[in-house]
A and B are shown apart, each in its own frame.
Chain A
Amino acid sequence: MAFNFNWSPLIADTSRAREMLTTALNKSPKPPIIVDDIIVTELNLGSTPPELEILEIGDLAEDRFRGIFKMTYSGDAFLTLKTKVQANPLNTYLSRKPSFASPEPLAAAAGLTIPLQITLSDICLSGFVILVFSKQKGLTLVFRNDPLESLKVSSTFDSIPFVRDYLQKEIEGQLRVLFMEDLPAIIHRLSLRLWSPEYQELEEEEERLNSFQDTTAPIDPLATNPPDAVDDFGNPIETTAGSALTLDTASEIHASFSRKNILRLAALSESQRTLSLFTPGIRDAVFRAWAGHADQPNSGVATPVLTQSSLSRIQSTVSSHKSNPSSLASGSTGNDSHSSRPTLVSSYSSTGLTLGANRLRTHPQRKRKKRVINLRKDRDGAESSGASTETSTPAPSANVSETSSLMHEVIQEEDFATTPKNEPQRAQWLDKRASTRTLREATDSSTNGKSAEKTRPEALLPPAPLPSDIPRAQTQSKQEQETDWTEKRTSSSSSTRPAPLSHTRLQRATTPLLRSLSFDRVSAASSSVHPHQAYPSRHRAMSPPYAESLASSSGGILEQAWMLKMAQEIARKVSEEKSRADAAASGAGARESILHHPQPGRGAKAAAAMWAVEGAAEMDAPPAYQA
């Protein structure tokens, strides 16, 4: 076994070591004879390395080492110090004494400071060194005995033997302290700075306070699923559960957001909730407002109002990506909540967007644009919701909202009277909600998307009842967090569903949509050439109710995550089923079938197959459909 000690790089740059020595020498209270800072002006470790003899190695691994060495050094290293000393012995003597018993000389103690330069050379060291290295804890170097054998001190006062002897004695004493106490600390700190990035961050915290620059490498949370992903309750996600979510890996990634980013996102979200104009800087983020220009040509058919509203929103692409799946999920479960807000009907418009974007996330940007063109060719010029799915701007989904708003308004009015019953529960939920609020808002930037979408209906319908909106949203988000809360809710109004409410709810969500799809959304569905592409359109068909819930729920991460899972599950099942069906038919035939009639029927069938528990009331056709 051999060790290779590289001495030369140590010689190269000693400026940092000089700095640290200077601070170390000035840190401890100095003897009164030294009246100024001690400054290390020169430090040369010399060309002769110390001789190390391995006595014992206690621990040896890739990232840790513990051993005992015998070190002997008699090299040409030297050290030059500069300081000022008090030349009046009476002054230094009296400065240490309590004034009460001091003779208080009139002028005999007047000071005389003399600059002093001390050079330490011919250092002879010999001692046992205990060296402990670990990557986490850095390098610890301890001298087992006093290593200093001899030392030559040359100073400004060499001509005065008394002063020279005194200095020699004093400095030897100080050096012994340095070797035994200060040097290990210096080396430890140096090593920490070298190996531990956390410590480095700590050290440079002040610098970073001024300039918001992260020294850490930017981590794209959407790039990969974190290996140690946890769900919203902090439990690690099992691999099996993870595979269930593989439709969209990014959907769970919020768990990997760093605290810093969480805070920033929270700030961003908060600033959009209030009238604050403050927008925190988020690195590696593309704001939707910037992207809006590029997308406008694609969504040229959008109604002016919508475009304007979409442009007014500032949203990072990251957040928009993330918001899409969650909005999908919340939308799919949102049927029970839409009832309370008749005015938010127009929020359906956003769903077209969110669905499309969700689907498109896995595709590169260029492909997306191409698809935009395709879709628009297939559809009417006015039917621009397909286009909106491709561009990540919510703007052009006006048609959806217009068509579906009617029927849902009726639904809402049906349930409207029952909503106040939820009020008592809200108080309870509020507490817990407050605790999770920050995290929730920050972790999943979908909140941004949601809040953005929430503003949209207001743009369309100015007298949106916001106050009732938000509490309502809270109740809902709470409801989805835990099932027992849901039990409570079941007693009230619209939630007469059994425990696996997700299924029923989704069912409820899908059924009216599928129905509504039949008359005006079919054309949108026709855009999907590939069978696989049919399901986004199906999602789009689901959009009206859940968009509403979107608007209603101000976003809870737990709720969203849960809904996400559900939505993805549904999506997967639907796609599986669809692909099964498509496999039977030929490509073109399948396309035709998707386009025109089979979709609602198949969707209904699928729903019936999956969730047989569906209630009869929910099977009733919505008024819109009847109309």
Chain B
Amino acid sequence: MLDFMEHVQNAFYEASHWNVDNSYGALNATARALLDFQTPRGLRLQISSLAAPNFATSYTIGSVGVVDGFVSYLYSSLPLTRSFKSSNLDLHNVIRGYRHLQELRRPDEPWWWEIWHGGRRIDSRNTLLYGRIFLPQSTLEALYLRRLSPTRQLKISAVSDSTLNNGGTLLAVLQSDYGKYSTEYMYSTDSALMGVRGLYNFGPDPRAEPPTAQDVAERAHGRFSAGAELYYGILNKSGGISTGLRFTTLPNHAGFPYTMTLTLNPLMGNLSSTYSVKAGPNLALCSRFDFNFYSYESELQLGCELWRRRRNTDVEWAVKKLRPGWERPTTTRDEDVSGILKARVGQNWRIGVLWEGRIKELLFTLGASLDLKKREQIFRAVGIELQYSS
């Protein structure tokens, strides 16, 4: 389950029309959400609030043997209208699962953002500021996010920690998203790492002239994307490279949605393929196969996401009798969700289980990671997280 602050940041992206999925870094987001989810450790309680549409606070206290916690604040120049109350937020916004990609949308025209008043431009760039301090470690995290233009965003994240070299590290990323393709340039102060990422979407260009009616009828059912990344550390003279392909179905697709990715790291000989399926409204399955053609090591992982819903038997018969187009009263979609189960298993019998959901006004995450190979200590980590936000 997403942290409250991550949720707020996502809301900021959405409000500022930034497509997070159109990035090479998000190429296999579905597989990572289904296979690499974090299981909580120990007990963690979070109380957060969007006190004003522009300001959010969050306090977390946790205990894994020792009691620790963090305090975070967020400021957004853009008023956030999404509901963040834990009692009625949309669970799909906070549960990372199968990412059903939408049609690419055309980037905003720059002049859309212009606000004129009295003959002068008074509009400013949307900005997000975020800070988090961990106690008692005294680690400080800071994030500066600025929409430079409708197609460009600057993201600077920094960590201050006395245990790090030079007392901290800073990463600056300049992201550009033109719809058809996206690029990212990044620089990290740590060992002067520089990186370039790019993603190209095959198919029609969203920036082209508005499609005709015929084009709308013949919309693509899927999208093919290719990307690559390149890193080079100037100080340690080492680098990394990878390329990736993805095919994903779009909402237009008649059958069940699925996503396939293939990534290759030619330097290290690592080949990874994933296949994710949204088998139904409540079920997503995912598999990943890793192979290294230098060391011949391989790994297979399977994962699933299951939304469990309460059966409303009283009106079940009535719903069945309704005609398909009938507008159902839109309360909250997740009213009947009793919980979401996520599970993954690897070939070496490492199992991770996550049970997330909402009880009354609390969002909970129950998780455990198990290692069946180690008979004497099967449970590697067990944890529970409770979130309340208003």
Contact = CB atoms under 8 A, between A and B. Distances in A.
A125 interface: no
A93 B173 contact: no
B272 interface: yes
Given A89-B238, A93-B191, A103-B173, A98 B161 contact: yes
B242 interface: yes
A90 B270 contact: no
A281 interface: no
Contacts of B267: 88, 108
A101 B229 contact: no
A108 B233 CA distance: 13
B239 A90 contact: yes
B236 interface: yes
Given A90-B239, A93-B238, A98-B164, A103 B188 contact: yes
A113 interface: yes
B231 A90 contact: yes
Contacts of A206: none
Contact of A114 (B161, B193, B295): B295
A100 interface: yes
A107 B265 contact: yes
Contact of A89 (B157, B171, B197, B233): B233
A27 B157 CA distance: 34
B263 interface: yes
30 contacts: A89-B239, A90-B231, A90-B238, A93-B190, A93-B233, A93-B236, A98-B139, A100-B141, A100-B143, A100-B159, A101-B157, A102-B171, A103-B186, A103-B188, A105-B229, A105-B240, A106-B227, A106-B242, A107-B264, A108-B241, A108-B265, A108-B267, A110-B242, A110-B265, A110-B272, A110-B290, A111-B268, A112-B268, A112-B269, A112-B294
B270 A110 contact: yes
Nearest to A86: B268
B244 interface: yes
Nearest to B156: A101
B291 to A, nearest CB: 11
Nearest to A99: B159
Contacts of B191: 93
A104 B157 CA distance: 12
A109 B240 contact: yes
Contacts of B190: 93, 97, 101
Contacts of A90: 231, 233, 238-240
Given A100-B159, A103-B171, A108 B269 contact: no
A112 B24 contact: no
A85 B272 CA distance: 21
B24 A106 contact: yes
Interface in A153-210: none
Given A108-B231, A109-B240, A103 B195 contact: yes
Contacts of B250: none
A113 B295 CA distance: 7
B60 interface: no
A259 B238 CA distance: 64
Interface residues on A, range: 20 to 34
B242 A107 contact: yes
> Which A-B residue pairs are the 5 nearest by beta carbons?
A108-B240, A89-B238, A107-B242, A110-B270, A90-B240
Contacts of A87: 268
Interface of B: 24-25, 27-28, 139, 141, 143, 157-159, 161, 164, 169-171, 173, 186, 188, 190-191, 193, 195, 197, 227, 229-231, 233, 236, 238-244, 263-265, 267-270, 272, 290, 292, 294-295, 297
B186 to A, nearest CB: 5
A107 B231 contact: no
Contact of A108 (B157, B236, B242, B294): B242
A101 B28 contact: no
Given A107-B270, A112-B292, A101 B240 contact: no
A554 B33 CA distance: 72
A187 to B, nearest CB: 32
A111 B298 CA distance: 11
A300 to B, nearest CB: 59
A111 B270 contact: yes
Interface string A252-292: 00000000000000000000000000000000000000000
B236 A106 contact: no
Given A106-B24, A113-B295, A101 B238 contact: no
B314 to A, nearest CB: 47
Nearest to A110: B270
Contacts of A107: 229, 242-244, 263-265, 270, 272
Interface in A74-101: 87-90, 93, 97-98, 100-101
B216 to A, nearest CB: 33
A501 to B, nearest CB: 61
Contacts of B188: 101, 103
A113 B297 contact: yes
Contacts of A106: 24-25, 27-28, 197, 227, 229, 242, 244, 263
B229 A108 contact: yes
Contact of A112 (B159, B170, B270): B270
A97 B161 CA distance: 10
A107 B242 CA distance: 6
Contacts of A109: 240
Contacts of B263: 106-107
Contacts of B229: 105-108
Contacts of A93: 190-191, 193, 233, 236, 238
Given A88-B268, A107-B270, A112-B292, A101 B169 contact: yes
A106 B226 CA distance: 13
A91 to B, nearest CB: 8
A101 B191 CA distance: 13
Interface in A422-459: none
